[in-house]
Amino acid sequence: MQLRRADVLEGAISILDEYGLGDLTMRRLATALHVQPGALYWHFKDKQTLLGAVADTVLREVDSPPQAVDWHEQIDELAHRLRNALLSHRDAAELVASTYASRLVSNRIRERIAAVCIRAGLPRAEAELSADTLLYYILGRTVDEQARLQMDSVGALNDEASPLFEQPDPTSRFDFGLGLFVDGIRQRLGNRERGLGNRERGHGLRARA
């Protein structure tokens, strides 16, 4: 039976889930699919291109418009949607972070977040920087969470480290940082509104003078 691109991606994700990112090699994947390594290169020119496609597959359900109405609820929704997708596969946060850095991911979650910030009132440049900040907060937070989960599963976390990880729970820790981000956006929007108001009052005073 002819090897399809979808078969390669499915096999790669299976290896990722079972063995982790470090063991996702072209040779191991070819062996799992019962083909020669060269057969994989009909679909992906190199391993980095394959990893980018795997990352896009992991994020497939993330890139859709948020259902919430208010901008801060939309950010919360997108952030949790991304975190849940990353947690659904072993080492997915590390994989997505590395492929984002090499610009191999076509998923548009960053653009979704930036669009929410623009609709909230931020200039485009600030909205894009805000999207980068939130994206890498989510990736970094989830990389740490997945690493700790794996260490805990093999008993590598000592008795002193485990309670620090569990209290508060990882979701509460994530939400705390997300809340700080939303508060920062809200503060910046407030500063802009006050600045515009002051300028308008200044124009009015000069006009009356």
The pLDDT assigned to 103 comes to 87
Tokens in use for 6?
Answer: 């979808």
CA distances from 15 to 12, 29, 138, 182 (A): 5, 7, 24, 36
DSSP string, 153-195: HTT-S-TTHHHHHHSS-HHHHHHHHHHHHHHHHHHHHHHHHHH
Q: Are residues 29 and 73 in the same domain?
A: no
Distance (Å, whole) CA 201 – CA 112: 35
- Please compute Rg for the chain using Cα positions: 22
The pLDDT assigned to 193 comes to 81
Q: Are residues 77 and 108 in the same domain?
A: yes
Going by pLDDT thresholds of 50, 70 and 90, the confidence category of residue 205 is very low
Q: Are residues 23 and 70 in the same domain?
A: no
List, in sequence order, the alpha helices (H) in 3-87: 5-19, 26-33, 37-40, 47-58, 71-87
Question: Which of 1, 61, 58, 50 lies closest to 28 in space, CA to CA?
Answer: 50
CB 16 within 8 A of CB 54: yes
- Does residue 57 form part of some domain? no
Q: Are residues 146 and 204 in the same domain?
A: yes
Q: Look over the chain and give the mean of its residue pLDDT values, rounded to a whole number.
A: 88
Domain encompassing residue 15: 5-45
Instruction: Pick 208 or 83 by higher pLDDT.
Output: 83
What is the number of structural domains in the chain?
2
Out of 8-12, 15-19, 26-30, 165-169, pick the least confident.
165-169
Q: Are residues 86 and 40 in the same domain?
A: no
Out of 72-81, 115-124, 153-162, 186-195, pick the least confident.
153-162
Going by pLDDT thresholds of 50, 70 and 90, the confidence category of residue 71 is very high
Distance (Å, whole) CA 200 – CA 206: 10
Q: Are residues 76 and 131 in the same domain?
A: yes
CA 6 to chain centre: 23
The pLDDT assigned to 157 comes to 63
